[in-house]
Chains A and B, each alone.
Chain A
């Protein structure tokens, strides 16, 4: 045994048999893993050779002085098998000209790391943001609903031209009639418009709070989804049954029942009433409109079918499945006929009610469509600017390589070959940028999910998955075509370069293309910035809206008294007990240190928690109805707590209870509507039943308060009527608490107070008024925030592009500038010369950008609040901002050029 060069042996020592066998086995596993890469014709030889060599290595004598030990050497040596296999896999292709181009491009790119990294990052930003937004658009807008045959699912709604034809919830009796009379609809199902918090008691464990949605028995059948365990509800459960059937959401089942299959059949009390779990829905199943914990039948009293309230209370959200082969217009026509028939049969309630039908998908995504499309437009602009920038970089390099191209053309490379090579460089850049972009898109998706408002449909499904990665790949490819082909086309015109001077790295086409790119970048950036400006002014306006109350330092706590605690909800004793419990609770919380004022209400501002009725004023003809007044019940001191001004009359007092005169407080808007010709509303008698019966009563107006925005921040205040909450016997109230310091500090104390009063009293939904306001503008905030990010990125990219181009062009003119300096031009003259040229481009870009913004901002339309899409201030502000930034981008290279010593430049020539 001789001495090897790399491994001097001092003494020898064999491997133990087990470790030898282990190593051999490891090697052969590794080789078999790689073998499929090797072309079949050479695979056997390849395997045999590597196995033999590695076996020899394993058996090679090991010196104790060897460091690192043989295992490490073996791993290192074995790793080469991968490269060898790859080489063999690639060999049959290696003479392919495309690969040749890619290899060349790879070498060129790695030789200029600064350029490569810059281009890849620029593109990656564009691809990343576009991919993230596309992921959201894909899930929310493009992908069909996750139900079988989703195209046949429709949403039905009622509207009443008297109230402005807005889609509205439907009245139960009407929906039942549609279901019975329609032949174009396979089936109609319905649910309450919103889930309710309920208390579930499974007996063994502590009671849990869960959100339950009341649905018609056929709801799951219409959606076409069956439970994974047990059964769905049946139609009869729409009506009252002995025990309420409950279908559990998969996640809730896991959470509350530990995923046990024997949960099905378990008896459960919902709010104290008997129920039984009948089924478990599949994982990821969601009813349209969002996630809930369980579903149960509406359990209506069959006697209500013909009650007036069943036609006049609109609180259902119906969906339907079109019969096979039926089109939307056919169904719509039939529903029109039915609703006209109902109008004739029930003129009191249905004379003006019409029915609408919308594909369920469009219905669900209606509110998010525009914001998402606006964002998609914005990221497209960012991507275009990124492409323009990279195109510019490639152009500059193409110009610098003019000589190389000339030589290569002179040596016989045809134009196609040169274009192909530039294209290959672009392709490599795009692939790298696509990879980085996808990674950054994942981060962005996480950020968007964190910022998105609750209730954005299918938010949880947004993810950077294969589909989106493929999209990103497509984007990368498309952008390659965009940015690589222009320079390829210009760069490949090597002949032109050859005809001009050998060293002059420019051509007229090159400069023209460059100027076009700069103009386009500036124009796109301005359009985006104007959009951002409009939206942020609109958001600002939303924040500055006079809400009619002061939201800071106000806490809202929803307290719900379980029906179980007060059996017989209509009995006088339970009403009294409930009232006294609320009174006690309010007194206890009011006594807490740090509480400035406390009141309660049946609904909170800016959440749309109110109900609507029509109203009639005593002494006026019966036809002179007022339409759509909102109702909220409040306690004495509610307006003082919210700091809403009382303009006339008085607030409620503790004397305004059930046994006293019925009084109301109204808001300014109602006064303007009901008394258009002036006159004091105080003392006016008002009724809220359009079709008065024996129980209808008159209310006396005793006070007028300022307008509170009840719908949402952006909607103008509507006419409102407040009644005393002391006459309200419902089981929940919102405590509104004005605190001296940070409201959050008080939450634990309030919780304790509630628990102390009755441990069974669950404290629900604690929030601050400020977050109510923020939540109300969450979508606007998200869009504005994202646009701000995109706008800044776009502007930055555009300015970098402008700077780079001006610097390059100025560099080209160095000789000319030097001569001018030599014949007496001052530094100022030279600077001006350079700047003027750049500003001409920027000016053109701004003009184009203003036009683009004027067209583009029309799409913002309904997203804008109190700001016109043509708001001249915004246009002027951002145009001048960009002009200023552009000036800086031109001035920097101009200053450098003017400072250069002309004699040095001329000598160098």
Chain B
């Protein structure tokens, strides 16, 4: 399996609390055309799982339901490998500077 800096950054962003595609874009600075195909691939490789957020929560926030991505156990492992390969990922400040919405 190939882990690039891009994939590493996305995994790192997910680990630090980003949940949605566009959050990942903001967190990593990558364009949507990179983030989404990467998410699709990660999901196919089962490093990432996705689910729809609940209708009640969306309603409460006054917006449509968003798709919600989380790291799987394999994803955690892959992230560890990625950080080993690209140690700068850890200190790059990637991640949600705010707590995940609750």
Contacts and interface: CB of A to CB of B under 8 A. Distances in A.
Interface of A: 2-7, 45, 48-49, 51-53, 55-57, 59, 76-84, 87-88, 91
A45 B26 contact: no
A665 B66 CA distance: 101
Contacts of B20: 53, 56
A52 B26 contact: no
A53 B65 contact: no
B97 interface: yes
Interface in B1-31: 20-22, 25-27, 29, 31
Given A5-B26, A5-B97, A91-B44, A51 B36 contact: no
Nearest to B22: A53
Nearest to B39: A84
A4 B97 contact: yes
B63 A84 contact: no
B93 interface: yes
Nearest to B32: A80
A393 B35 CA distance: 38
B85 interface: no
B36 A87 contact: yes
A80 B66 contact: no
A421 B36 CA distance: 29
Given A3-B97, A4-B26, A56-B66, A84 B31 contact: no
Nearest to A52: B64
A4 B31 CA distance: 16
Given A55-B64, A56-B63, A49 B29 contact: no
B33 A80 contact: yes
A48 B65 contact: yes
Nearest to A2: B98
Nearest to A82: B33
A82 B35 CA distance: 12
Contacts of B54: none
B67 interface: yes
B34 interface: yes
A79 B22 CA distance: 13
A532 B97 CA distance: 74
A26 to B, nearest CB: 16
Contacts of A81: 32, 36
A87 B34 CA distance: 10
B36 A84 contact: yes
Interface in B44-58: 44, 52
A57 B98 CA distance: 17
Contact of A83 (B21, B22, B36, B66): B36
Interface in B65-97: 65-67, 93, 96-97
Contacts of A3: 97-98
Contact of A49 (B26, B66, B93): B66
Nearest to B28: A5
B40 A52 contact: no
Nearest to B21: A53
Contacts, number: 80
B62 to A, nearest CB: 8
B66 A79 contact: no
Given A6-B29, A56-B66, A84 B37 contact: yes
Nearest to B40: A87
Nearest to A79: B33
Given A2-B98, A3-B97, A5-B97, A87 B37 contact: yes
Contacts of B67: 45, 48-49, 52-53
Contacts of B34: 80, 83
Contacts of A59: 63
B97 A83 contact: no
A267 to B, nearest CB: 69
Instruction: Give the interface centre of A45, A49, A59, A77 by most chain B CB atoms within 10 Å.
Output: A49
Contacts of B26: 4-7
Contacts of A87: 36-37, 40
Nearest to B38: A87
B32 A55 contact: no
Nearest to A54: B22
Contacts of A7: 26
Contacts of B35: 80
Given A5-B93, A49-B21, A53-B66, A88 B40 contact: yes
Nearest to B65: A52
Nearest to A83: B33
A6 B35 CA distance: 15
Contact of B40 (A4, A53, A76, A84): A84
Nearest to A7: B26
Nearest to A1: B98
Contacts of A56: 20, 22, 63-64, 66
Contacts of B40: 84, 87-88, 91
A76 B31 contact: yes
A215 to B, nearest CB: 64
A49 B63 CA distance: 12
- Rank and list the top 4 A-B pairs by shortest CB-CB distance, nearest first: A80-B32, A2-B98, A83-B33, A80-B33
9 contacts: A2-B99, A3-B98, A4-B98, A52-B67, A53-B67, A79-B32, A80-B32, A80-B34, A84-B37
A51 B31 contact: no
Contacts of A76: 31-32
Contacts of A51: 64
A83 B98 contact: no
Contacts of A45: 67
Contacts of B27: 5
Contact of A2 (B36, B37, B63, B97): B97
Contacts of A80: 31-36
Contacts of A77: 22, 25, 31-32
Given A57-B22, A76-B31, A83-B36, 17 more contacts: A2-B98, A3-B97, A5-B29, A6-B26, A48-B65, A49-B67, A52-B64, A52-B65, A52-B67, A53-B22, A76-B32, A77-B31, A77-B32, A79-B31, A79-B33, A80-B35, A83-B32
Contacts of B52: 48
Given A76-B31, A84-B32, A55 B97 contact: no
Contacts of B66: 49, 52-53, 56
Nearest to B23: A4
Contact of A84 (B33, B65, B98): B33
A88 B36 CA distance: 10
A45 B98 CA distance: 27
Contacts of A82: 33
Nearest to A78: B32
Nearest to B101: A2
B96 to A, nearest CB: 8
A92 to B, nearest CB: 11
Contacts of B98: 2-4
Instruction: Give the interface centre of B36, B40, B96 by most chain A CB atoms within 10 Å.
Output: B36
Instruction: Give the interface centre of B21, B32, B34, B44 by most chain A CB atoms within 10 Å.
Output: B32
A68 to B, nearest CB: 15
Contacts of B64: 48, 51-52, 55-56
A2 B101 CA distance: 10
B63 A55 contact: yes
B87 to A, nearest CB: 20
Contacts of B31: 76-77, 79-80
Contacts of A5: 26-27, 29, 93, 97
A526 B45 CA distance: 59
B78 to A, nearest CB: 19
A81 B39 CA distance: 13
Contacts of A91: 40, 44
B68 to A, nearest CB: 10
A10 to B, nearest CB: 16
B51 to A, nearest CB: 11
Nearest to A55: B64
A87 to B, nearest CB: 4
Nearest to A80: B32
A40 B67 CA distance: 18
A53 B40 CA distance: 16
